[in-house]
Chains A and B, each alone.
Chain A
């Protein structure tokens, strides 16, 4: 694995990636909440 600098990470590109991360983050958070709430319906 070798590395060579390519391009400056542009502000727009970084913003785009951050926005995508935020969306995925909320989705994962929703999954967590769903798991948690599901637990209260467990019956013996």
Chain B
């Protein structure tokens, strides 16, 4: 995206903040809308970077045998794909939403800590470079490539790994600092800058979702940072946190990692769950159903998410009481999640629905994320999990959660708010094409992976037995259609940013309610200089 987003599109001259033009303006900006734009642009770029990596992987898996790459490189691609998609695409996209929308939605002029906000963003590009730098370095003969342990850094494999692991450790540290800074800013903004009359129980659900996310980040990122620091000292300074020979325990790493890792799933999803009711209510022309229920649902999921982590390593040989505890606590997450599903469907019920692109994505999200939730329920069962675990069944499950749940949720938000951000309507025809191609090719890619997992194909293998050939071929075809369809998405956004398309009204959607729709599209430089009073 370019400077047109917030300035020239509405005839504003760049002003305020640093008074710079051009690149320096973006480097020094403290405006929440500029920073939001940078987060979203960064996320979109990294989405394509991570996507390209996995397309190379799928191409290798098209047929049995090694055709395109060696297993070492394969292992690097899968791990960096996950790290890029999670830390550099999904999380920044959600933070971009927060930056753009939270001040608009709560009636604030900007985020509470604007310079911190700037720093939070500008930590990301160096981290992304650190993460991917080992690839070009390996081409120059330095080191042996990027981290090859998968995104989970499991010790002792990561203790054994090359410089890619060190690069990834530092990248994760920097990304973590960025997330923590962003979270602190969001929490204090929501606590201190709400418009008069906006009590916490009138706070828009998107802000509630993000508030819980921000607290989860603050609680869990330090644990991840601690775990990878311990890994670093094990690698270079002779400690034995994860080495049994020195009195350590490799499983300790898994406990620490997943104490972060499981809440991370909800960190990725809560902003999307917060945004869904807005979209559903808008296009059903009806108010949100069960506002309080959803708020309590978010809180309950946030609390539960930090006490279920060990279901990520049921096969590691935990004691029976631990297995039972983690099984039942994991199953109980289905209850608050069911509250959300109930409220989403009840919001649509007896409305006056129309199906513009954001609504299509929202409905697609509900159905496909439903599959993720239901398969998650069976994965919680320790006995059946012994069969599903480490297999493609799990790969399919978490892509239904994180692609259909996370990325399609982000796309819902982008289509919903793009008119507000750019002042232009996107192309509805292209949007619909994008939706249908995405949904169909997504299922074509990941549905076969459920069956591959059931048939016994383990995750993260570069080559496979002949009985898995057909499903893998189907999956690869689906993945390439899925990847290429996303170009429509990028093109649609670029056209809006360039000022093509019909001008958007303040209230871009007929049924939209909320403070953000009271401002012009795009909003003025300082969003709410005059705070509204909320009744």
A residues near B (Cβ < 8 Å) are: 1-9, 14, 17-18, 20-22, 24-25, 28-29, 31-33, 35-36, 38-40, 42, 44
Q: Which residues of B contact A44 (CB under 8 A)?
A: 247-249, 252
Q: Which residues of B contact A21 (CB under 8 A)?
A: 112-113, 188-189, 191-193
CA A22 – CA B185 in complex, angstroms?
9
Q: Which residues of B contact A9 (CB under 8 A)?
A: 109, 528-531
Contact indicator A17/B193 (Cβ below 8 Å): yes
CA A28 – CA B116 in complex, angstroms?
14
CA A35 – CA B216 in complex, angstroms?
12
Number of B residues with CB within 8 Å of any CB on chain A: 45
Asked if B513 CB lies within 8 Å of chain A CBs, one says: yes
Contact indicator B223/A39 (Cβ below 8 Å): yes
Q: Which of the residues B109, B113, B218, B530 comes within 8 Å of A6, measured between beta carbons?
A: B530
> Contacts A17-B192, A24-B187, A44-B252: A3 and B107 contacting too (C-beta < 8 A)?
yes
6 intermolecular pairs with C-beta atoms under 8 Å apart: A6-B530, A7-B530, A17-B112, A21-B193, A24-B192, A32-B180
Q: Which of the residues B221, B230, B535 comes within 8 Å of A2, measured between beta carbons?
A: B535
Contact indicator A35/B112 (Cβ below 8 Å): no
Q: B507-529 interface mask toward A, CB cutoff 8 Å, 1 = contact, 0 = none?
A: 00000011100100000000011
Asked if B458 CB lies within 8 Å of chain A CBs, one says: no
What is the chain B residue whose CB lies nearest that of A20? B192
Q: Which residues of B contact A14 (CB under 8 A)?
A: 109
Q: Which residues of A contact B514 (CB under 8 A)?
A: 1
What is the chain B residue whose CB lies nearest that of A13? B531
Taking the closest CB of chain A, its distance from the CB of B227, in whole angstroms, is 7
Taking the closest CB of chain B, its distance from the CB of A23, in whole angstroms, is 9
Taking the closest CB of chain A, its distance from the CB of B17, in whole angstroms, is 15
Interface SS of chain A: helix, strand, loop or mixed? helix
What is the chain A residue whose CB lies nearest that of B191? A24
Taking the closest CB of chain A, its distance from the CB of B119, in whole angstroms, is 12
CA A19 – CA B448 in complex, angstroms?
54
Given contacts A5-B530, A17-B192, 6 further A-B contacts (CB under 8 A): A1-B515, A6-B530, A8-B529, A24-B188, A29-B180, A39-B227
Contact indicator A6/B189 (Cβ below 8 Å): no
Q: Which residues of B contact A7 (CB under 8 A)?
A: 530-531
Q: Which of the residues A1, A2, A17, A32 comes within 8 Å of B218, measured between beta carbons?
A: A32
Taking the closest CB of chain A, its distance from the CB of B240, in whole angstroms, is 10
B153-200 contacts to A (CB < 8 Å): 180, 183-185, 187-189, 191-193, 195-196
Q: B219-238 interface mask toward A, CB cutoff 8 Å, 1 = contact, 0 = none?
A: 10111011101100000000
Contact indicator B112/A6 (Cβ below 8 Å): no
Taking the closest CB of chain A, its distance from the CB of B282, in whole angstroms, is 13
Asked if B290 CB lies within 8 Å of chain A CBs, one says: no
CA A6 – CA B530 in complex, angstroms?
7
Taking the closest CB of chain A, its distance from the CB of B304, in whole angstroms, is 19
Asked if B534 CB lies within 8 Å of chain A CBs, one says: yes
Contact indicator A33/B222 (Cβ below 8 Å): yes
Asked if B459 CB lies within 8 Å of chain A CBs, one says: no
Contact indicator B112/A18 (Cβ below 8 Å): yes
Contact indicator A36/B530 (Cβ below 8 Å): no
Q: B297-334 interface mask toward A, CB cutoff 8 Å, 1 = contact, 0 = none?
A: 00000000000000000000000000000000000000
Q: Which residues of A contact B202 (CB under 8 A)?
A: 1
Q: Which residues of A contact B252 (CB under 8 A)?
A: 42, 44
Q: Which of the residues B184, B196, B248, B532 comes within 8 Å of A25, measured between beta carbons?
A: B184
Taking the closest CB of chain A, its distance from the CB of B75, in whole angstroms, is 27
Contact indicator B534/A3 (Cβ below 8 Å): yes
Taking the closest CB of chain B, its distance from the CB of A20, in whole angstroms, is 5
Q: B473-505 interface mask toward A, CB cutoff 8 Å, 1 = contact, 0 = none?
A: 000000000000000000000000000000000
Most chain A CB atoms below 10 A, which of B192, B195, B530, B534: B192
Contact indicator A3/B193 (Cβ below 8 Å): no
Asked if B19 CB lies within 8 Å of chain A CBs, one says: no
CA A14 – CA B116 in complex, angstroms?
17
Contact indicator A29/B535 (Cβ below 8 Å): no
Taking the closest CB of chain B, its distance from the CB of A1, in whole angstroms, is 6
Asked if B350 CB lies within 8 Å of chain A CBs, one says: no
CA A42 – CA B143 in complex, angstroms?
33
Q: Which residues of A contact B360 (CB under 8 A)?
A: none
What is the chain A residue whose CB lies nearest that of B233? A40
Contact indicator A35/B219 (Cβ below 8 Å): yes
Contact indicator B532/A6 (Cβ below 8 Å): yes
> Contacts A24-B191, A35-B222, A39-B256: A5 and B227 contacting too (C-beta < 8 A)?
no
Contact indicator B533/A25 (Cβ below 8 Å): no
Q: Which of the residues A3, A22, A24, A39 comes within 8 Å of B515, measured between beta carbons?
A: A3
CA A6 – CA B529 in complex, angstroms?
11
Q: Which residues of A contact B226 (CB under 8 A)?
A: 35-36, 38-40
What is the chain B residue whose CB lies nearest that of A31? B218
Taking the closest CB of chain B, its distance from the CB of A7, in whole angstroms, is 7
